[in-house]
Structure 1
């Protein structure tokens, strides 16, 4: 596969990354994160089906059908139990500005990078993917919320690596893991929610996870940005 890029707003964090020190955050952290809507996604860790014209409801008991305007069917993974480290498949001025980056680490050997991070995690760690095909690194799937949710709603591991298509510019690749059964089939919470529904921020579940892997300096290189890009 191609190369990956990790943007940093301080060079010291880029140097730490090169030394194999990676910072993972819970999906809940990115759900609540606010910085001019960069990175932050209030539906992080949630798959939403928001059809144009409203959500179609079938009342089997009364034999009626009706629509709920501005409503969505939402399925949420356990955002406080799933950890992610976000990277990009693109090196662009737009992303540099969005992330206020002064430097980025270019990952030249992605399979080796993923293998080193995986090796640094406990043996009981779980990853997204079908049985026998789990792995830590995934390209994010950008989807249209107006289209049917497909089986994603029952698959928390797929929810963890999907985002609404308005974030597609980030061209994200993420490392994802859990130390619980958070990726188990149908281990989700579902609801019907109005578009105006907001979840209260929960700083208590924003706990970071510091992972120390083998040095990455032989498979990565540092890129620094000038003030004018």
Structure 2
């Protein structure tokens, strides 16, 4: 079996690459996850992308499992990935040809699809088609540079920012997978934040400014948007004031 992991960007069907569209037209089976109550628009967006690409393969939907919050973090994630892999196998059935899975953003950046794919037995032939990342969508939406002049960028998670604080020596820090607004834990008054949710989608929400000033506003906005849509995906970039 050939397993194609196709990055579909951050929510704008126009951001799906021509390479991805071609692969979707050629795939024999296309897996579409259902992520639960209140998140139907995520599956609907995938179906729209398939329609726009002219996909004719068999579309198979499957329900995404829920993490067991009673388990320790790493054990919880491993068990979750194992269950996702089992559901892939069930959804694919006896297909021996090409199977496509639409992945939000890019399959290679803070996404576990590749790790899950390696659990499959027999091992599929994996092909990754990159998509527009949340990093690109965020910096484009704000009209800013990803890095300072010849400067390095640290890409990390909300969990690590909470546990370890500002990375030593960092100029620019981009935070992903942060469900708890971990920027609020930083004890610095010189940081500027560029934040965005639903990047690339018609629901896109942006905010930017001195962290000490607008951090509380972002927290309120995030809570309101999550309540309105039933889900939220956001990311943000932090940088000391004055750096370019």
TM-score by length of 1: 0.26
- More contact order relative to length (CA 8 Å, sep ≥ 6): 1
More helix by share: 2
